[in-house]
């Protein structure tokens, strides 16, 4: 038990640092790409990243089974670091496109490695608390990053931000190498053909429902991460320092609400009710993005904070519910679950590129609000579950 707790502490810490490495360029990457292409084509970079991520994730269970999760995590981390360093070195839009995709794919794969590490050390009776604690550390990394980036980006010094991202990943690589005794594993993972896995998901009402809910959340994240910074910086003329402060405040719900939500889920099996509350909040806030015409940073900070109150509850329950109905050996389900992030970026970016050909950026948020309302239906149809004893 002590070994397990020490292993989880290592993963909480590395989750925090990895989140910093992703969050530092997370909200400036779309603006960084505008240095190479027009804003209406920025979505194509995210579409490319999503497509190749979907392909890579599809084969990832085979690689985990062959090399082990630990060894593969070292390979993915190394590739991620190299791709980021090359991304900030080149000037051709085609090479930027290439290394942006490689970095994006590696990031998605690395979070699957982390999922497997955490699930291996999690007791199912405390899944809600363990997962929400893990995500709270991750979200602390996201909360700390925007304000720091707002100060560091200066005169649009985006390459420096990416360099810091690579440095954080190097730190994680060093921790993984030094703590091999806590992370290396000898597990026989279950792996099935993609079509068989999809059939199992389609037939299981719990899996099917949680997959749809997770996709809706990833769709929100994709469209918010890509287009909210552009809207605030270009349409409302907010400085990056102002945006950094707004985003830091915006992300506080992920730190404040997730652990209490996880405890409630473990104690009362209340995932469905918390899901419903989260979708009501997030849908209403996206509608307000469309209707509010204020250019006050305070107003937008409050609006974005409200949206993340809903998103934080949905994310906490997504993790709690899913990892109560799967085990670490079920790498195919975990793999498909994390496939929903690039799928969200693919669908969100594709819809956005299409909509922006005809309508202003505000209409993206109105359409997203309507789509997110469907989450109420899927949440309510989920079977109520109890933690396994």
Number of folded domains that form the chain: 1
Mean model confidence pLDDT for the chain: 84
pLDDT value of position 336: 81
> Is residue 385 a part of any domain in this protein?
no
pLDDT in tens, 268-297: 777 888 999 999 999 999 999 888 888 889
> Is residue 389 a part of any domain in this protein?
no
The answer, yes or no, to whether residue 132 has pLDDT greater than 80, is yes
The answer, yes or no, to whether residue 314 has pLDDT greater than 80, is yes
> Is residue 30 a part of any domain in this protein?
yes
The answer, yes or no, to whether residue 311 has pLDDT greater than 80, is yes
Average pLDDT estimate for 99-118? 90
Q: How far is CA 373 from the centre of its chain?
A: 20
The answer, yes or no, to whether residue 181 has pLDDT greater than 50, is yes
Q: Where is average pLDDT lowest: 30-44, 96-110, 244-258, 368-382? A: 30-44
189: its two tokens: 């993972």
Reported as a pLDDT band with limits 50, 70 and 90, residue 389 is: very low
- Long-range own/partner contacts, residues 364-371 (CB < 8 A, 24 or more apart): 364/223, 364/227, 365/223, 365/286, 365/287, 365/289, 365/290, 366/286, 366/287, 366/289, 366/290, 368/219, 368/220, 368/223, 368/286, 369/283, 369/284, 369/286, 369/287, 369/289, 369/290, 370/283, 371/216, 371/219
- Give dist(CA 371, CA 212) in Å, integer: 12
> Is residue 386 a part of any domain in this protein?
no
72: its two tokens: 């593969």
Q: Where is average pLDDT lowest: 14-23, 191-200, 261-270? A: 191-200
pLDDT in tens, 204-216: 888 999 999 999 9
Better pLDDT: 331 or 115: 115
The answer, yes or no, to whether residue 140 has pLDDT greater than 80, is yes
Domain that holds residue 226: 2-380
Q: Domain containing 257 — which CATH number? A: 1.20.1250.20
Whether the pTM exceeds 0.85: the reply is no
> Is residue 233 a part of any domain in this protein?
yes
The percentage of residues in the chain with a pLDDT greater than 70, rounded to a whole number, is 92
pLDDT value of position 388: 46
- Give dist(CA 317, CA 135) in Å, integer: 11
CA atoms within 13 A on the CB side of 345: 24
pLDDT value of position 16: 93
Average pLDDT estimate for 30-47? 79
> Is residue 272 a part of any domain in this protein?
yes
The percentage of residues in the chain with a pLDDT greater than 90, rounded to a whole number, is 30
> Is residue 362 a part of any domain in this protein?
yes
Dihedral of CA 92/58/106/38: which sign? positive
> Is residue 387 a part of any domain in this protein?
no
Reported as a pLDDT band with limits 50, 70 and 90, residue 156 is: low
pLDDT in tens, 225-238: 878 888 888 778 88
């Amino acid at each position: 038990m002590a070994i397990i707790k020490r292993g989880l502490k290592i993963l909480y810490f590395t989750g925090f640092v990895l989140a910093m490495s992703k969050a530092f360029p997370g909200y400036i990457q779309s603006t960084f790409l505008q240095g190479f292409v027009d804003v209406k084509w920025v979505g194509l970079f995210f579409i490319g990243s999503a497509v190749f991520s979907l392909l890579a994730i599809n084969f990832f269970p085979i690689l985990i089974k062959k090399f082990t999760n630990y060894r593969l995590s070292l390979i993915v981390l190394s590739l991620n670091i190299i791709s980021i360093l090359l991304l900030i070195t080149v000037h051709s839009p085609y090479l930027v496109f290439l290394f942006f995709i490689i970095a994006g794919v590696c990031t998605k794969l690395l979070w699957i490695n982390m999922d497997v590490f955490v699930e291996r050390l999690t007791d199912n009776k405390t899944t809600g608390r363990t997962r929400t604690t893990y995500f709270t550390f991750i979200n602390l990394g996201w909360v700390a990053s925007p304000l720091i980036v707002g100060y560091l980006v200066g005169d649009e010094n985006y390459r420096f931000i990416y360099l810091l991202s690579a440095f954080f990943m190097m730190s994680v690589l060093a921790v993984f190498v030094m703590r091999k005794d806590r992370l290396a594993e000898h597990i026989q993972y279950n792996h099935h053909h993609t079509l068989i896995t999809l059939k199992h998901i389609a037939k299981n009402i719990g899996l099917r429902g949680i997959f749809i809910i997770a996709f809706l959340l990833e769709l929100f994240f994709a469209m918010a991460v890509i287009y909210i910074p552009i809207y605030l910086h270009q349409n409302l003329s907010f400085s990056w320092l102002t945006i950094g402060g707004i985003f830091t405040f915006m992300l506080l719900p992920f730190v404040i609400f997730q652990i209490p939500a996880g405890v409630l889920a473990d104690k009362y099996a209340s995932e469905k009710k918390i899901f419903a509350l989260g979708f009501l909040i997030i849908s209403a806030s996206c509608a307000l993005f469309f209707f509010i015409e204020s250019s006050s940073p305070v107003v937008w900070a409050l609006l974005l904070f409200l949206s993340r109150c809903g998103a934080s509850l949905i994310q906490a329950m997504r993790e709690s519910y899913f990892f109560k109905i799967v085990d670490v050996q079920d790498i195919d389900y975990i793999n498909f679950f994390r496939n929903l992030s690039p799928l969200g970026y693919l669908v969100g970016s594709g819809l956005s590129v299409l909509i922006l050909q005809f309508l202003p950026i505000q209409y993206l948020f109105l359409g997203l609000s309507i789509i997110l309302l469907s989450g109420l239906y899927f949440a309510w149809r989920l079977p109520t579950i109890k933690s396994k004893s």
